[in-house]
Chain A
């Protein structure tokens, strides 16, 4: 009691109170560090939801994180060490030293695993190597194989402010990627696992000049890919059916660039960018033993791809009411790889050669322009009008053209050299009141182009390829932001796009039309200084009508197909955070997501036969069934302050994912099995994955 009274009287003394205040201030303005350690565990395997988080299987995991942040006040020198997930395979570490306003450097490491959610039941031999053998007969005992990849990246960088407005920075990153992923033997629909052992290096060096009016930087960016595996040798265990599968070969790209901006006046700014990139692939092309090659086929592609970017922009705020911008962009991607014959079987016929294959170096030039003006009227009303133009020009890489130029014998998709798209946009933004803001956008785009170059057969030429097809697109966007009371904010969003593709009687196939929409409502409510709530709901839907011709096969009749493809999602989220008492803070998050994919396809039979291939022993069952994915995830956390600089945090997560995805199933729901006479590899995953996590950690905070 005496001690309390004494402290109370001390607090009344101005000098003592000031000293205490200074100590509080120092604690507030000094960078804080934090380290935590704990343990957590999942109750069950969770291969789908644990694909990337380093915790795909049941068991205990270490929870180790640290953020150490120091600043020397006299010199302004920062030393930062950030460690994340040290107890998991997703571990990251970054150390940084910087004398603010002068120079700095960092070193970092990161591991990113990707664990394949499907378990492979297989007898394929040599998985993980470049020589794989598929048992030619069955039955053979199948074993479970878990595929996955790991990226290990090391990065370092240095930056220096040279003075006089100049600064220099350089960064380097080297990433190894190893592991295996689902693949195929190519020559037949049989399982193989692609072995991955590659490295990507990236180097960037930039010299920049900055003044109040003018900023410019130039530099070099290089990326270098190297692959330890050049060719994968696959065959049956008895040596039959050897297929040698090519791999990406070493390649590199060197880019030089300059970009900048200049304030012509306080209201007008000009920007530009020039970049030139040369990418090459010059590694000898491996060929498997005994694999036939055409006499003139390249042993080295001498691949070269030159990309050129020229970009300039101008923007001006003419008055408080009116501003505009204009942008012009030219991007030329020009593959200069020599065109050579790669495949030619038999005696060369008179052109065109339908069985010949040449490589097809592509040149694609995209020129785009944007003009936009915004007029701000009184009372918070703003009108924006925009015009976007995109013009694509392709060099048709005909391998085996018909002498008349009517078609290309080695082309399997019709082709057009020119594609142009024009978009007109109109947007209205309005402050309807102090608490209500709205925005409406309407955009109309029209895409068309030059005549198509026909492919190698009439049916090929009956489609509008999606990425170069004629298309009319209308897009509407509405947004309303309402704060009815200071503590409550509501946001409404509506986006809808409608596409109409240029189907015609002579070119009826491909996408006919499509629509996509997203509707969303968000609410955030601050109950008081201690408690806050939020919730959101989103409905999204995409639909497309796709036409095509099905040829008779396996007892099925020739038919015209019409698929009404649909992807519909409903997602709901909610969260709460608050303090149950001064020392106890709690939080909760809920996410529910349901996504349904539908594939109804009608077949108008135009010949004799069944709707789907019906020949024994295997027949086809269609149309494809819907696929529904459902995810529920609940996260709870509580943090109790043991003392001013130490907390205990407890986390609980419940998650449940359910799917009836039939991708790796036969029509009756049993596992799809590769081949008829080979080992019978299957890929399986539990259709319901539900697991609980509980973890606790001690958190220590310090300066």
Chain B
């Protein structure tokens, strides 16, 4: 039995030696032409790269799939370095400490990805603040966190500290719960004023809150102009994501005589006096309940005041 095993091992050894001779020239491992890189950068290297094979960028059946040098440049000086001294960086690199200019890093991606929602990238606030694609995207792993609805906001909050605080306030859109992502409202590659998925704030809000679009019989002008005049969409401590509590919110525009002029105060007990009800409950909206617009044609002045 031992003799048989020894013979088998010898045979395998002989076959292996022949195979080893074939392997003198490094072979591609994941992408066409990647041998230049993967001869060093295997899964045990400081910069492991092979996991890209599990991504869209590793789908060899797609003729558009790039190879290492498509994105990192030929990088001959890096690949062919011999002797002592620090190895030069690849021609294009994307690490935090890379010397490659941010615009040049993005140009690498845009060579293939300039279309669709990224057409205006060069006009975007992100681009002009020296944010590159690789500032947010990780392309060498199977699931890029920024493309995951649950994980995306962690990337955005790396810079947007104010919004990181706001989404943890008691009233917020369901971002931390993973039902929405920042990109549900924002086209972060876009060039419109607030980098929104639609052309304006209101058009963006109407994708989910279409009932506010109207037109209504009785319009409320700031509602028509910009939802963000009254609402802070990232989170507040006030019901309905309001920026300020009534009556103060309403009194930023309204200076009427009578009950709309009331000071902020809480009633001592049950009352129907409108001069006592502007702060408690829904505040002014206790009565002006259809504040976004009303379709009532009742022949009463109250219908024009969003009370019907």
Interface-facing stretch out of A121-129, A295-303, A641-649: A295-303
Q: Is the CB of B29 within 8 A of A25?
A: yes
Contacts of A591 in B (CB 8 A): 168
- What is the bound-complex CA distance between A434 and B98, given in angstroms? 10
User: Which of these, A14, A287, A544, A667, contacts B17 with CB under 8 Å?
Assistant: A14
- What is the bound-complex CA distance between A253 and B199, given in angstroms? 14
- What is the bound-complex CA distance between A645 and B228, given in angstroms? 48
Contacts known (A16-B16, A249-B295); A359 close to B218, Cβ less than 8 A? yes
Cβ-closest chain B residue relative to A216: B119
Contacts known (A357-B301, A620-B265); A189 close to B286, Cβ less than 8 A? yes
* B161-175 interface bits toward A, Cβ cutoff 8 Å, 1 = contact, 0 = none: 110110011100010
Interface-facing stretch out of A35-43, A67-75, A444-452, A690-698: A67-75
User: Which of these, A184, A246, A307, A459, contacts B285 with CB under 8 Å?
Assistant: A184
Q: Is the CB of B252 within 8 A of A465?
A: yes
Q: Give the residues from 165 to 192 in chain B that come closer than 8 angstroms, CB to CB, to chain A.
A: 165, 168-170, 174, 177-179, 191-192
Q: Is the CB of B289 within 8 A of A245?
A: yes
> Nearest Cβ in chain B — how far from A546, in angstroms?
6
Contacts known (A337-B215, A364-B225); A269 close to B59, Cβ less than 8 A? no
Q: Is the CB of A374 within 8 A of B128?
A: yes
Contacts known (A10-B9, A225-B210, A623-B263); A618 close to B269, Cβ less than 8 A? yes
Contacts of A198 in B (CB 8 A): 211
Interface residue A317 (Cβ < 8 Å from any Cβ of B) = yes
User: Which of these, A251, A612, A676, contacts B213 with CB under 8 Å?
Assistant: A251
User: Which of these, B168, B257, B281, contacts A189 with CB under 8 Å?
Assistant: B281
- What is the bound-complex CA distance between A591 and B165, given in angstroms? 10
Interface residue A702 (Cβ < 8 Å from any Cβ of B) = no
Contacts of A174 in B (CB 8 A): none
Interface residue B251 (Cβ < 8 Å from any Cβ of A) = yes
Q: Is the CB of B298 within 8 A of A627?
A: no
Contacts of B115 in A (CB 8 A): 208, 210, 215, 217
> Nearest Cβ in chain A — how far from B95, in angstroms?
11
Q: Is the CB of B54 within 8 A of A29?
A: yes
Contacts known (A248-B211, A620-B268); A261 close to B114, Cβ less than 8 A? yes
User: Which of these, B212, B219, B229, B262, contacts A550 with CB under 8 Å?
Assistant: B262
Contacts known (A189-B287, A343-B301, A665-B266); A325 close to B214, Cβ less than 8 A? no
- What is the bound-complex CA distance between A174 and B77, given in angstroms? 55
Interface residue B84 (Cβ < 8 Å from any Cβ of A) = no
Interface residue B32 (Cβ < 8 Å from any Cβ of A) = no
Cβ-closest chain A residue relative to B130: A429
Interface residue B109 (Cβ < 8 Å from any Cβ of A) = no
Contacts of B170 in A (CB 8 A): 48, 629, 631, 657, 659
Q: Is the CB of B168 within 8 A of A413?
A: no
- What is the bound-complex CA distance between A355 and B305, given in angstroms? 12
Contacts of A188 in B (CB 8 A): 272, 287
Contacts known (A246-B308, A565-B248); A538 close to B164, Cβ less than 8 A? yes
- What is the bound-complex CA distance between A114 and B180, given in angstroms? 13
> Nearest Cβ in chain A — how far from B226, in angstroms?
7
Contacts of A407 in B (CB 8 A): none
> Nearest Cβ in chain B — how far from A235, in angstroms?
13
Contacts of A253 in B (CB 8 A): 206, 213
Q: Is the CB of A279 within 8 A of B267?
A: no
Contacts of B251 in A (CB 8 A): 510, 546, 548
Q: Is the CB of B294 within 8 A of A495?
A: no
Interface residue A622 (Cβ < 8 Å from any Cβ of B) = yes
Contacts of A667 in B (CB 8 A): 266-268
Interface-facing stretch out of B68-76, B86-94, B237-245: B237-245
Q: Is the CB of B297 within 8 A of A293?
A: yes
Contacts of A550 in B (CB 8 A): 261-263
- What is the bound-complex CA distance between A179 and B255, given in angstroms? 36
Q: Is the CB of A518 within 8 A of B215?
A: no
Q: Give the residues from 265 to 287 in chain A that come closer than 8 angstroms, CB to CB, to chain B.
A: 269, 271, 273, 275, 277, 279, 281, 285, 287
Q: Is the CB of A301 within 8 A of B30?
A: no
Q: Is the CB of A463 within 8 A of B254?
A: yes
Q: Give the residues from 265 to 290 in chain B that come closer than 8 angstroms, CB to CB, to chain A.
A: 265-277, 279-282, 285-290
Q: Give the residues from 288 to 325 in chain A that come closer than 8 angstroms, CB to CB, to chain B.
A: 288, 291-294, 297-299, 301, 303-305, 307, 309, 311, 313, 315, 317, 323, 325
Cβ-closest chain B residue relative to A69: B142
Contacts known (A32-B142, A467-B226, A664-B280); A13 close to B9, Cβ less than 8 A? yes
User: Which of these, A6, A279, A664, contacts B5 with CB under 8 Å?
Assistant: A6
- What is the bound-complex CA distance between A538 and B161, given in angstroms? 7
Centre residue among A101, A186, A548 by max chain B CB count within 10 A? A186
Q: Is the CB of B53 within 8 A of A184?
A: no
Centre residue among A29, A71, A74 by max chain B CB count within 10 A? A29
Q: Give the residues from 141 to 168 in chain B that come closer than 8 angstroms, CB to CB, to chain A.
A: 142, 150, 158, 161-162, 164-165, 168
Contacts of A78 in B (CB 8 A): 59
A-B contact pairs, 14 of them (CB 8 A): A14-B16, A75-B61, A285-B217, A323-B103, A325-B123, A362-B219, A459-B261, A510-B252, A554-B276, A571-B164, A613-B262, A613-B275, A629-B169, A629-B237
Interface residues in chain B, defined as those with a beta carbon under 8 Å from any beta carbon in chain A? 5, 9, 12-13, 15-17, 19-20, 23, 29-30, 43, 50-54, 56, 58-64, 96-97, 103, 111, 114-116, 119-120, 122-123, 128, 130, 142, 150, 158, 161-162, 164-165, 168-170, 174, 177-179, 191-193, 199-200, 203, 206-208, 210-219, 221-222, 224-226, 229, 237-239, 244-245, 248, 251-259, 261-277, 279-282, 285-290, 293-304, 306-308
Known: A304-B215, A311-B191, A620-B276. 6 other contacts (CB 8 A): A75-B61, A246-B303, A253-B206, A281-B214, A355-B301, A561-B263
Q: Which 10 A-B pairs have the closest CB atoms?
A: A29-B53, A76-B61, A622-B265, A14-B16, A15-B16, A618-B271, A303-B215, A620-B265, A52-B174, A463-B255
